Amino acid sequence: MRYLTVRSRIVVAATLGVLALFSQRALADCAQPVDYDVTADGSDVTVCFTDFQDLNRGCDIGSALLRENVDTGDVVEVAANCDTSQPRCYVDTCVEDGKYRYGFALPFDCYASSCGTYYFGEIEVSGSDTSSCTSDALPYTDDPPWGTSREICGYGGDDTGIPGGDTSIMTGGDAGAGGDGGSPAGDGTKADPTLCSFAGLTMNGETLVFVINGIALLLGLVVMRRRRL
């Protein structure tokens, strides 16, 4: 920028600062993540969740929730023991010590306006006493619909953790015990995650913000250059 005056350089620096501020503000304005809240109390694990798009989920209406043992890979369907104070939440009883993943057999749809959409929540159970109880979890023969990554998509709908590199998210009805509505082998329909479109290109919200900022900065430099001439 050697052709710019000191005053012009100050203007450019201030413009960059303002653009960076608005970029961060745009990202900070994302909605609460579509995610799971998993807590343990002895051998009981309570699983709640946040979902803006589909209120027809929950323990009280029989949505299939899976529990995966991270160490062994064993997967079961959590029995419909509902939290009395929060009926949509599940209470998985008589869970042995270990690290577990809890998530719906039918994953959440990507919610592009949230700070992230996730396949499962994780919990490590320790100090559990299962000597006087029996787990009522149900057998589940399919693989869970996730890989090792928790994230279905990030803010703006960018895909990051889809198993097998698939760029679509399963939608459709909940899978019941042993059902295949939301499993990779099932027949659930697919829908592309919600992305932003600009100048014929599809991109996530974060990329779009920086593209617009770059164009604005370039136009500003051109205008100042012409005034200089």
Q: Give me the amino acid identity at 121.
A: G
Structure-token pair, residue 33: 């993540």
Contact 35, 111 (CB under 8 A): no
Contact 81, 91 (CB under 8 A): yes
State the Cα angle at 157 between 69 and 186, rounded to 5°.
50
**pLDDT tens digits along 60-118:** 988 999 999 999 999 999 999 999 999 999 999 999 999 999 999 999 999 888 899 99
Helix axes 6-28, 205-228, angle to 10 degrees: 160
Q: Does residue 39 surpass a pLDDT of 70? A: yes
Distance of CA 72 to the CA centre of its chain: 24
**pLDDT tens digits along 191-205:** 333 344 444 444 445
Q: How many CB atoms lie within 10 A of CB 134?
A: 8
Q: Where is average pLDDT lowest: 95-99, 145-149, 160-164? A: 160-164
User: Which DSSP state fits 229?
Assistant: -
Q: What percent of the chain has pLDDT over 90?
A: 45
Rg (CA), the chain: 24
Q: Say how many CA atoms lie within 13 Å of 172 toward its Cβ.
A: 19
Contact 77, 129 (CB under 8 A): no
pTM tops 0.85, yes or no: no
Distance of CA 68 to the CA centre of its chain: 18
Q: Does residue 225 surpass a pLDDT of 90? A: no
The rounded distance, in Å, linking the Cα atoms of 33 and 35 is: 6
Q: Give me the amino acid identity at 22.
A: F
Contact 95, 45 (CB under 8 A): yes
Which pLDDT band holds residue 188 (cuts at 50, 70, 90)? very low
